[in-house]
């Protein structure tokens, strides 16, 4: 498993503990989905302006959001060492910080949740209707519970 983390925002400190947490969340998602670890995932930390531009350009929604997922088809994209490109996760640290304060938990917990949420999008899950939303939320909760990540 290769996780490429790129911090292109400068409003909040992203330290090694957050990078380690992201790796744990991604691994737990792969385990929950009975996937191997032969994947490459990119995680980028951006600010609200960057994610607004991406949201506008790729989804036609001209506003900031917390996280965007860009899945790649694992049958088409193969890289050396037999790692399969799963996709890209883009997290707005500004929005994650606001949400963590709104929900009364840490920035680290919010980033962990957004990572899990995005991973399930990379696996093809969505939350467009209530049935699919429940399936996705249950998976996210299982990951958070499995890792002992609660409000803190």
User: How far is the C-alpha of 148 from the C-alpha of 39, rounded, in Å?
Assistant: 24
What are the chain's domains? Answer: 2-146 (3.40.390.30)
Tokens of 124: 């093809």
* Residuewise pLDDT in 10s, the chain (152 residues): 999 999 999 999 999 999 999 999 999 999 999 998 999 999 999 999 999 999 999 999 999 999 999 998 655 444 445 668 899 999 999 999 999 999 999 999 999 999 999 999 999 999 999 999 999 999 999 999 999 997 55
- Neighbouring CB atoms inside 10 A of 67's CB total 20
What's phi and psi for 40, nearest 5 deg? -115, 130
- Does this model's pTM top 0.75? My answer is yes
Judged on CB neighbours under 10 Å (0-12, 13-18, 19+), 119 is buried
Instruction: Write down the residue that tokens 């467009």 correspond to.
Output: 128
Residue 88 and residue 70: Cα distance in Å, rounded?
A: 5
- Residue 105 labeled ligand binder: no
């Amino acid at each position: 498993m290769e996780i490429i983390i790129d911090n292109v925002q400068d409003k909040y400190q992203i330290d090694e503990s957050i990078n380690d947490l992201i790796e744990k969340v991604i691994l737990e998602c792969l385990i929950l989905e009975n996937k191997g670890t032969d994947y490459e995932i990119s995680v980028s930390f951006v600010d609200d302006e960057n994610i607004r531009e991406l949201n506008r350009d790729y989804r036609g929604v001209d506003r900031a959001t917390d996280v965007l997922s860009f899945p790649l088809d694992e049958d088409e994209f193969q890289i050396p060492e037999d790692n399969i490109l799963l996709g890209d996760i883009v997290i707005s640290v500004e929005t994650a910080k606001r949400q963590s304060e709104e929900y009364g938990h840490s920035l680290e917990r919010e980033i962990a949740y957004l990572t899990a949420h995005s991973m399930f999008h990379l696996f093809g899950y969505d939350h467009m209707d209530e049935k699919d939303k429940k399936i996705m939320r249950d998976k996210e909760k299982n990951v958070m519970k499995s890792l002992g990540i609660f409000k803190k």
